[in-house]
């Protein structure tokens, strides 16, 4: 059966943004397993990333990442220092084989990002030195997430949340919107410096993959 994606190929597979530099953007629908806080605060539900043309690219991206050839993605990724996985949405197990192939093919590029899926993190972390995923947790996450023994990021952090003292937490993301931290979210020493406007973006930081 033909779909609206059959004749579609984006001008560039990687998406650009001022914070992360470039990313693989995936859909929310059918991909995310959000917590209550994540669903309420999600930055990808509105604005530029939620435009129909961008959602079409996200849906296409997910299919492409499950498909037989990622040659063009490899070409684009090779010229980058770091690429954020799941700049929007979340990864799925169907993407694992091609992400391993991408990391192998682009050994000078760091592939990094966040996921709420423990099975995806377990399949990707520790497999290759240039593939680093943080598991996202927040105050509405199920207790079972804390059984994960790998690196974590905490966010969105709401005003009343107390960040656990836990060495696994690499980065804290204070809830922010439109480039501003929401009133009342306290500072934390592990806060993302780009969210706090201490650095201009991930390429000046790298904390989420330098662990």
Instruction: Summarize as ranges the residues that interact with ligand SF4 (CB under 6 A).
Output: 171, 192-194, 199, 202, 205-208
Q: Is 185 exposed, middle or buried (0-12, 13-18, 19+ CB in 10 A)?
A: buried
CB 117 within 8 A of CB 89: no
- Cβ-count burial of 157 within 10 angstroms (0-12 exposed, 13-18 middle, 19+ buried)? buried
Minimum CB distance to ligand SF4 smaller for 13 or for 202: 202
In whole angstroms, how close is the CB of 94 to ligand SF4 at the nearest point?
Answer: 25
CB of 4 to ligand SF4, least distance (A): 33
**Closer by beta carbon to ligand SF4, 28 or else 194:** 194
Q: Which residue number, 59 or 110, has a Cβ lying nearer to ligand SF4?
A: 110
Q: What CA–CA distance (Å, rounded) separates 107 from 19? A: 23
Smallest distance from the beta carbon of 198 to ligand SF4, in angstroms? 9
Name the minimum Å distance from CB 83 to ligand SF4.
Answer: 12
CA 211, chain centre distance (Å): 16
> By C-beta, is 122 or 199 nearer to ligand SF4?
199
């Amino acid at each position: 059966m033909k779909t609206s994606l059959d004749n579609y190929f984006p001008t560039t597979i990687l998406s650009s943004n001022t914070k992360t530099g470039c990313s693989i953007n995936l859909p929310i629908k059918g991909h995310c397993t959000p917590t209550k806080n994540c669903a309420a605060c999600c930055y990808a539900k509105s604005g530029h990333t939620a435009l129909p043309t961008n959602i079409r690219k996200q849906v296409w991206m997910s299919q492409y990442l499950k498909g037989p050839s990622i040659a063009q993605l490899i070409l684009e990724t090779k010229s980058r220092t770091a690429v954020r996985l799941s700049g929007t949405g979340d990864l799925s197990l169907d993407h694992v084989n091609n992400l391993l192939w991408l990391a192998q093919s682009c050994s000078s590029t760091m592939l990094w990002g966040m996921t709420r899926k423990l099975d995806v993190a377990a399949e990707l972390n520790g497999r290759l030195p240039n593939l680093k995923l943080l598991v996202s947790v927040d105050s509405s996450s199920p207790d079972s997430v804390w059984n994960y023994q790998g690196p974590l990021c905490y966010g969105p952090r709401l005003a009343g949340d107390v960040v656990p003292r836990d060495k696994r937490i690499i980065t804290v993301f204070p809830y922010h919107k439109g480039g501003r931290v929401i009133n009342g979210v306290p500072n934390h020493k592990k806060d993302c410096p780009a969210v706090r406007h201490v650095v201009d973006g991930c390429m000046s930081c790298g904390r989420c993959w330098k662990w």
